[in-house]
């Protein structure tokens, strides 16, 4: 049977302690470029979103610099995320078991993993983060171009720019919330962060959280 849950580069290392390769070096670099630009975008964007946060422009060398640099970081984020999308979209396709997982969200938040269906490389929560970020980033880049006054201002009517600025703000708030969920989940589920820092997780982590993925990896050998 062809593997459905395994990405190129995923591998099991047997030994006294089983470790599993989860992200290649390329994927990790790609991820951290995207993550860094998202953080910078959130800070510089929030600085212009609410007056009480305007002082954050100081981190970018003042208001005019913040205004000038924010859209360029956005371009970096877009292409960074595009890279992640191409890498990860296939294993994030929605499956029937994801609905089951979502229905048992109570067992998820209370860490009763034994009541949940076996999960492939990504669980339903991770898939939701992936797809909502994909949609939000498309909204952000398109609305962002419309309100990029310096280069694109003249191509759009004032009414279009008004709508774009509202969409941009709403999408950005949503994206920041999704980002908080993403970061919190990585902290809460111990043993996750090494997947993105060193590229590997322990066998126990894979067994506990992504058993189907581990099974396919092992049987593939």
Partner 1 sequence: MFTIIPNPQAKPIDAKFGDKDLIRRSASSITPVAQRQPEVAKLIDVSKCIGCKACQVACLEWNNLTEEVGVNVGVYDNPHDLTPNTWTLMRYTEYENPESGNLEWLIRKDGCMHCEDPGCLKACPAPGAIVQYSNGIVDFVKANCIGCGYCIKGCPFNIPRISKVDNKAYKCTLCSDRVAVGQGPACQKACPTQAIVFGTKDEMKKWAEKRITDLKSRGFKNAGLYDPPGVQGTHVMYVLQHADKPNIYAGLADNPRISPIVELWKGGTKYAGLALIGLTAAFGFLHHIVAGPNRVTDHDEQEAKRLAGK
Q: Footprint of partner 1 on this chain (CB under 8 A)?
A: 12, 14, 17-18, 48-51, 54, 57, 62-64, 66-68, 109-111, 113, 147, 149-150, 153, 158-159, 161-163, 165-166, 169-170, 172-173, 176-177, 180-181, 184, 187-191, 202-208, 214-215, 218
Q: Which of residues 76 and 170 has its CB atom nearest to partner 1 in the complex?
A: 170
- Residue 175 tokens read as 């994206």
Alpha-carbon distance of 210 to 147, in angstroms, equals 42
- Taking alpha carbons only, the member of 2, 32, 6 closest to residue 20 is 6
Catalytic machinery residues = 182
Q: Which of residues 100 and 177 has its CB atom nearest to partner 1 in the complex?
A: 177
Q: Which of residues 141 and 146 has its CB atom nearest to partner 1 in the complex?
A: 146
Q: Which of residues 141 and 147 has its CB atom nearest to partner 1 in the complex?
A: 147
Cα 65 versus chain centre, distance = 27
* CB of 124 vs partner 1, minimal distance in Å: 16
Residue 18 to residues 53, 111, 113, 192, 213, Cα–Cα distance (Å): 46, 22, 20, 15, 14
Those residues whose C-beta lies under 8 Å from the C-beta of residue 184, and which sit 6 or more positions away, are: none
* CB of 163 vs partner 1, minimal distance in Å: 6
* CB of 206 vs partner 1, minimal distance in Å: 6
8 A C-beta contact, residue 188 and residue 98: no
* CB of 147 vs partner 1, minimal distance in Å: 7
Alpha-carbon distance of 4 to 180, in angstroms, equals 29
Alpha-carbon torsion angle 176, 149, 77, 41, nearest 10: -40
Query: Do strands 19-21 and 11-13 pair parallel, antiparallel, or not at all (unpaired)?
Result: antiparallel
């Amino acid at each position: 049977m062809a593997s459905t849950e395994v990405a190129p580069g995923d591998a099991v290392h047997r030994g006294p302690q089983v470790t599993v390769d989860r992200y290649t070096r390329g994927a990790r670099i790609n991820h951290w470029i995207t993550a860094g630009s998202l953080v910078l975008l959130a800070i510089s964007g929030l600085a212009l979103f609410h007056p009480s946060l305007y002082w954050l422009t100081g981190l970018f060398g003042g208001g005019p610099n913040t205004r000038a640099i924010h859209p360029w970081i956005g371009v970096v984020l877009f292409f960074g995320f595009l890279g992640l999308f191409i890498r990860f979209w296939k294993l994030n396709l929605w499956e029937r078991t994801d609905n089951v997982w979502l229905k048992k969200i109570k067992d998820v938040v209370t860490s009763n993993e034994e009541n949940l269906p076996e999960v492939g490389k990504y669980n339903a929560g991770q898939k939701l983060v992936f797809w909502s970020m994909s949609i939000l980033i498309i909204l952000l880049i398109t609305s962002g171009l419309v309100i990029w006054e310096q280069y694109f201002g003249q191509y759009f009517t004032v009414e279009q720019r008004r709508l774009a600025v509202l969409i941009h703000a709403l999408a950005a708030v949503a994206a920041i919330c999704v980002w908080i969920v993403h970061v919190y989940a990585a902290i809460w589920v111990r043993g996750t962060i090494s997947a993105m820092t060193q590229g590997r997780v322990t066998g126990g982590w894979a067994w506990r959280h992504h058993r189907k993925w581990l099974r396919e990896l092992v049987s593939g050998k």
